[in-house]
């Protein structure tokens, strides 16, 4: 997969999955634009000094002005990959309106606004493009979302957004897809679930490869997909 001379935005690029995606992209020749919320986050990012990585001080991706500023700074956008989001484990009795709205803003609204800005930038560039969202297993298998109802609802909305937007943009050469990971093998997940069978979890590098294909020029026909990336779980 050849990303040379192609500019890609990766939200959530400083996280575990995001870092794997950015590493794979720069290895394939991409110029990566990575928004971050605070300086501590940026300072921990292993690729912060890479010549093909531009860190962009951002803030809240659920704010239109913040998102517009990020995408206005990207020349000839080719792909936009939306990994930024949040998780809340809480049964419905502990899920008040504030928590629900926070999940919707963090997962759905941020993704929606980034999709919207990406489409505008790709139309300006005039050569099509690729959008890849990150849903979740619970977005496809709703019953697995017990005790995470707010998170499940927000990620299911991301999956629906992906399919609807893919159909809307089909005639413009902008292909929109999503991946739906199960629990991934990250340090944070290992710490929170020390007794789980970690070998069965998908590795972030494996999920990154699936994202990379969907975002690449090699993907010429796949659109509207919400691709399960479950590993052996």
Angle at the Cα of 178 (from 77 to 64), degrees rounded to 5?
55
CA–CA dist 200, 29 (Å, integer): 31
Question: What does the pLDDT profile of the chain (233 residues) look like in tens digits?
Answer: 899 999 999 999 999 999 999 999 999 999 999 999 989 999 999 999 999 999 999 989 999 999 999 999 999 999 999 999 999 999 999 999 999 999 999 999 999 999 999 999 999 999 999 999 999 999 999 999 999 999 999 999 999 999 999 999 999 999 999 999 999 999 999 999 999 999 999 999 999 999 999 999 999 999 999 999 998 88
| Distance in angstroms between the alpha carbons of the first and the last residue of the chain | 28
- Tokens representing 124 are 């300006």
* Surface-to-core class of residue 89, CB atoms within 10 Å of its CB (0-12 exposed, 13-18 middle, 19+ buried): exposed
Residues ≥6 apart with Cβ < 8 Å to 190: 196, 198
Look at residue 69 and give its three-state secondary structure: helix
Q: What does the DSSP 8-state code read for residue 135? A: -
pLDDT at position 81 is: 98
pLDDT at position 226 is: 98
CA–CA dist 145, 152 (Å, integer): 5
Total number of domains in the chain: 1
Half-sphere exposure of residue 161: CA atoms within 13 angstroms, side-chain side? 26
Q: Is residue 1 part of a domain?
A: no
CB-CB contact of 183 with 204 (8 Å): no
Q: Is residue 2 part of a domain?
A: no
pLDDT at position 35 is: 97
Q: Where would I find the beta strands (DSSP E) of the chain?
A: 7-11, 31-36, 53-57, 77-82, 129-134, 174-181, 226-229
pLDDT at position 233 is: 83
CA–CA dist 163, 79 (Å, integer): 17
Q: Is residue 78 part of a domain?
A: yes
Looking up residue 185, the CATH number of its domain turns out to be 3.40.50.720
Domain that holds residue 116: 7-229
CA–CA dist 86, 109 (Å, integer): 12
Q: Is residue 206 part of a domain?
A: yes
Q: Is residue 148 part of a domain?
A: yes
Instruction: Quote helix, strand, coil % in the chain, to nearest 5.
Output: 50, 20, 35
Helix 204-215 and helix 16-27: axis angle, to 10°?
Answer: 50
Q: H or E segment at 26? A: helix 16-27
């Amino acid at each position: 997969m050849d990303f040379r001379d192609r500019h890609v935005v990766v939200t959530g690029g400083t996280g575990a999955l995001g870092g794997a995606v950015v590493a794979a992209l720069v290895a394939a020749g991409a110029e990566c634009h990575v928004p971050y919320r605070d300086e501590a986050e940026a300072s921990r990012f292993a690729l912060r000094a890479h010549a093909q990585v531009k860190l962009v001080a951002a803030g809240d991706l659920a704010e239109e002005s913040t998102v517009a500023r990020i995408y206005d700074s990207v020349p000839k956008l080719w792909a936009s990959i939306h990994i930024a989001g949040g998780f809340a484990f809480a049964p419905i009795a502990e899920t008040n309106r504030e928590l629900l709205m926070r999940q919707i803003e963090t997962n759905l609204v941020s993704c929606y606004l980034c999709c919207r800005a990406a489409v505008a930038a790709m139309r300006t560039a005039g050569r099509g493009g690729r959008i890849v969202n990150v849903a979740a297993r619970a977005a496809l298998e709703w019953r697995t979302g017990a005790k995470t109802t707010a998170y499940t609802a927000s990620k299911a909305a991301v999956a629906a957004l992906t399919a609807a937007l893919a159909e809307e943009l089909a005639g413009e050469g902008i292909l929109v897809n999503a991946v739906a990971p199960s629990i991934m093998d990250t340090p944070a997940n290992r710490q929170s679930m020390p007794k789980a069978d970690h070998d069965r979890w998908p590795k972030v590098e494996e999920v990154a490869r699936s994202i990379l294909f969907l975002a690449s020029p090699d993907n010429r026909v796949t659109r509207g997909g919400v691709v399960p990336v479950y590993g052996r779980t």
